[in-house]
Amino acid sequence: MSRNVLSVLVDNHAGVLARVSSLFGRRGFNIDSLSVSATNDPALSRITIVVSGDETELEQIIKQTAKLVETRAVFRVEQSSGVLRELLLVKVGADEQTRPALREISVIYKAKIIDLSPGSMVFELTGEPEKIDAFLEMLAGYPILELCRTGVTALQRGAPEYRLKERLLP
């Protein structure tokens, strides 16, 4: 089972995310990460989905997602030919003794300290999921008070290699 990143371009209207995500659930796919945003075309939204599965299962879910009326394009984003990023916000318990070490870790990973209070520090880090994981491993020895990850968002490098499905006129 490998982790796969799918990019799905869909009509930008209410209920589309629920239809796409329920399709994955009905087929027994666990969504590891989900990110949704508008695109440069206000009529389209991009859904980035990270799932684990073998090639046969993945091809099946791609074909079924492509069949949805609201889907305009669906394709796999390869890590070698794509740009994958994730945002992390993490609040760590910190006092005068632990702050210097936490600051040093943040410098190494190029994380921003976005809040400092007497008992905690909040870090912001953007990067590939592996970088986020490595940063969190370095923080494992400190009390993590709160954590939030956005999920992966991805774009294929270079010119788009997909064609949008034509919209059906009512």
Q: State pLDDT tens for residues 22-65.
A: 998 888 888 999 999 999 999 999 999 999 888 888 899 999 99
62, 91: one domain: no
Residue 80 near residue 147 (C-beta atoms within 8 A): no
159 within some domain: no
Q: Low-confidence residues of the chain, pLDDT below 70?
A: 1, 161-163, 166-170
49: left (phi over 0), alpha (psi -120 to 50) or beta: beta
51, 98: one domain: no
Distance set, CA 46 to CA 13, 96, 115 (Å): 12, 44, 31
CATH number at residue 94: 3.30.70.1150
pLDDT at residue 27 in the model: 84
26, 90: one domain: no
Residue 135 belongs to what domain range? 83-149
Q: How many domains does the chain have?
A: 2
- Distance between CA atoms of 59 and 40, rounded to whole angstroms? 28
- Distance between CA atoms of 110 and 127, rounded to whole angstroms? 10
15 within some domain: yes
169 within some domain: no
21, 55: one domain: yes
User: What is the pTM (predicted TM-score) of this model?
Assistant: 0.83
93, 145: one domain: yes
137, 98: one domain: yes
The b-or-e profile of 58-69 (16+ CB within 10 A means b, else e) is beebbeebeebe
